[in-house]
Each structure stands twice: as structure tokens, then as C-alpha cells.
Amino acid sequence: MSGRPAIAERVRELLAGIPADVAVLAAAKTRTASEIAAAIEGGIRLVGQNYVQEAQRTVDLLGRDAAEWRLIGHLQRNKVKAAVRLFDAIETVDSLRLAEAIDREAAKLDRVMPILIEVNSAREPQKAGVLPEETIDLARAIAPLRSVRIEGLMTMGPLVKDPEEIRPHFAETKRLFDELAVLRIPRIEMRILSMGMSDSYPVAIEEGATIVRLGTVLFGPRSP
């Protein structure tokens, strides 16, 4: 079995083994609309894209109502206008300036854009994300904006061979998530913790993830 039936079946099998309170997001970078449609057929409801233009092509083919479309890649400020019009949520906000740009564009559409704060949990200089020790201050700064709503945190974690090496970074992000929840900052609703990918999602779930972002384990290896 190959192609769409194989993807749909892999999705069904994987979803059957995931706790009911954890959502699976299909990380669809470079995947075709047919592959994404197969994942949706298998039960996926959240689809994550890294790039605005790639996501637009897929949404045009499959329709806005086919899934909840979430941006999981770095967002440049010159792409904010298109992103706010396209996505249902943006998971990669790591600065007040970016949040303010999203806020301005969302206000023009009379909508409130759900966002996650991206945490650079491993403090990797080459990666996006706010440092853990600056996360709460950033959340406080964003909270007064009227056309964005912080719904939680997201982290990538370092690329390592042993997923156990990522556990401390997931645990630290969960600690920040819980601390923000206890603070009860007005207009912040801590309900989503997005972390873990195909090689690390079991560890992420153990550390409290509510969304795991899966690509290869759903779709199979990317074509060369």
C-alpha cells in the first residue's frame, strides 16, 4: 500500500496511540496537497505550514474549511499581512515587534489572531524564539494588544540523536507554561503547549505537550 491510502492508514494508527487530550498537527512542509488531503482523511484536523506561499497554494486547492491551518515556521514581518489573512493561528511569535505587526493587520480584519510564544528552550543562537528567562516578560508586553491572544507556548528543541536529551528543554518550557497559567495575566489563556516532532513526540507528551507536530511519521520520508 502506498500513496494516499498509506498515509491515511498511518495517521489512523498513530492517532489511536496518542492520548485523547493531545492533538496531532501534521507538519506539512514540502508535502503535496494530495498528501495533506490523505492525512486529513485519516483524521488530522490541524495542519502546520512553514511558509506563507506554500500554505496559500495548499489552502487554495483543499479549501479553508478542510483543516485548521497553523503557521509553524518563522514569520518575517513583511509576510505578516498575508499570514494574518491565511492562517487560523500563528505558533512562532518571538518578539513584541512581530506581535504588534500581527495585531495591526488583525485589527484591520476585525479579528483576534490566536498566537503562541515560541521559546528557544535550548538557547541556540542560530534559532528563533525568545529565551526562557525572557518569556514571561514578553507575554506581559504582548498581553495588552487587542487583536492578538496568547494561547500558550511552542518550542522546537535541539536536533539530537537521543530524544531523552530534549527532555530538559521540554520540561523547562512546561514550567514556563505553568508559571504563566498561575499568574493569570489578563487576556492570556494558557491552554496550548506545542512541542515534540516525529522523533521526540513521546517524550514531549510525557512532559505535558498538548500539541505534537508530526511530519515524517505521518507522511513518510520526504522525496529527494
Distance CA(174)–CA(180), nearest Å, equals: 10
Q: What is the pLDDT of residues 90-143, one digit of tens each?
A: 999 999 999 999 999 999 999 999 999 999 999 998 899 999 999 999 999 999
Q: What pairs with residue 130 in β-bridges?
A: 119
Q: Tell me if residue 223 falls in helix, strand or coil.
A: coil
Nearest CA-CA partner of 101 in 73, 127, 82: 82
**pLDDT of 223 over the 70 cut:** no
pLDDT at 136: 98
How many other C-beta atoms lie within 10 A of the C-beta of residue 18? 15
pLDDT at 5: 82
Q: What is the pTM of this model?
A: 0.94
The phi, psi pair for 94, rounded to 5°, reads -130, 15
List of domains in the chain: 4-218 (3.20.20.10)
For 13-38, what is the mean pLDDT?
Answer: 96
pLDDT at 1: 41
How many other C-beta atoms lie within 10 A of the C-beta of residue 165? 15
